[in-house]
Amino acid sequence: RKEVEQDPGPFNVPEGATVAFNCTYSNSASQSFFWYRQDCRKEPKLLMSVYSSGNEDGRFTAQLNRASQYISLLIRDSKLSDSATYLCVVNSETSYDKVIFGPGTSLSVIP
Amino acid sequence: GAVVSQHPSWVICKSGTSVKIECRSLDFQATTMFWYRQFPKQSLMLMATSNEGSKATYEQGVEKDKFLINHASLTLSTLTVTSAHPEDSSFYICSVYPGNQPQHFGDGTRLSIL
């Protein structure tokens, strides 16, 4: 089993839609969880950290379910500028300061 | 947060050339830096962990003699792709872990070997 798995996508949604991405991780001892976005041919940029109680940042809501080893990202009122690849990131099983990237889910928001 | 500078951003070379990529931590003394590689339509894969003053730790399947890493100071790590071939063409990116914060990435280096 891969350490981090995500919905394969791609997701093609109209502007204004709500879209949810799912991610599962294999290391039950993981403590750090993040969502990054990556635009084509660019470096990943941190979107938000994911906290145990769940957290929200504007139109973005992240949830963590430790029992199921599952992370989600919800985007409300999608904008064209949200089009990107969304990467689920979890700290490595072997080393706390290393992180493992999921394969990413591609989102295209259509006018 | 940490600021990471990576250079060059784009390299096009002939097959057989060795290419050096620099990663600088501008405002954080990094004892550890990470090197990733990303092939088209794939996710970032950790290649190696660069350790200041000691040998790098390579992930399984990454040839240490092919990808030479030097971390001589707390602000600079270099990755040298030796005798590069077309299959080494990829997006290489470094990162710094400031501790208790998410990792911060350089802008990446797009390597194309002809």
SS3 A32: coil
The position carrying tokens 């710094």 is B96
Could you give phi then psi for residue B27, rounded to 5 degrees? Answer: -135, 20
CA distances from B23 to B2, B6, B64, B105 (A): 12, 4, 18, 9
Angstroms from A38 CA to nearest CA on chain B: 10
Q: Do B93 and A43 touch (CB under 8 A)?
A: yes
Angstroms from A2 CA to nearest CA on chain B: 12
Show the CA angle centred on residue A79, arms to residues A45 and B93, nearest 5°.
15
Helices (H) and strands (E) in chain B, counts: 0, 11
Q: Both tokens of residue A25?
A: 């991780």
Mutate to test the interface with B, among A90, A98, A100, A106 (most CBs of B within 10 A): A98
Q: Which pLDDT tens digits describe chain B residue by residue (114 residues)?
A: 568 999 999 999 999 999 999 999 998 888 899 999 999 888 899 999 999 988 999 999 999 999 999 998 999 999 999 999 999 999 999 999 877 678 889 999 999 999
SS3 A99: strand
Report the run of H or E that residue B6 belongs to, with start and end. strand B4-7
pLDDT score recorded for residue B35 = 96
pLDDT score recorded for residue B2 = 61
Q: Which pLDDT tens digits describe chain A residue by residue (111 residues)?
A: 678 999 978 999 999 999 999 999 998 888 889 999 999 878 899 999 998 888 999 999 999 999 999 999 999 999 999 999 999 999 876 666 778 899 999 999 999
pLDDT digits (tens, 9 = 90+) for B55-79: 999 999 999 999 999 998 999 999 9
pLDDT score recorded for residue A29 = 84
Show the CA angle centred on residue B58, arms to residues A34 and B96, nearest 5°.
40
- Percentage of chain B beyond pLDDT 70 is 96
Q: Do A101 and B32 touch (CB under 8 A)?
A: no
Q: Does B45 touch chain A (CB under 8 A)?
A: yes
The string of DSSP codes covering B73-89 is ETTEEEEEETT--GGG-
Q: Do B32 and A97 touch (CB under 8 A)?
A: yes
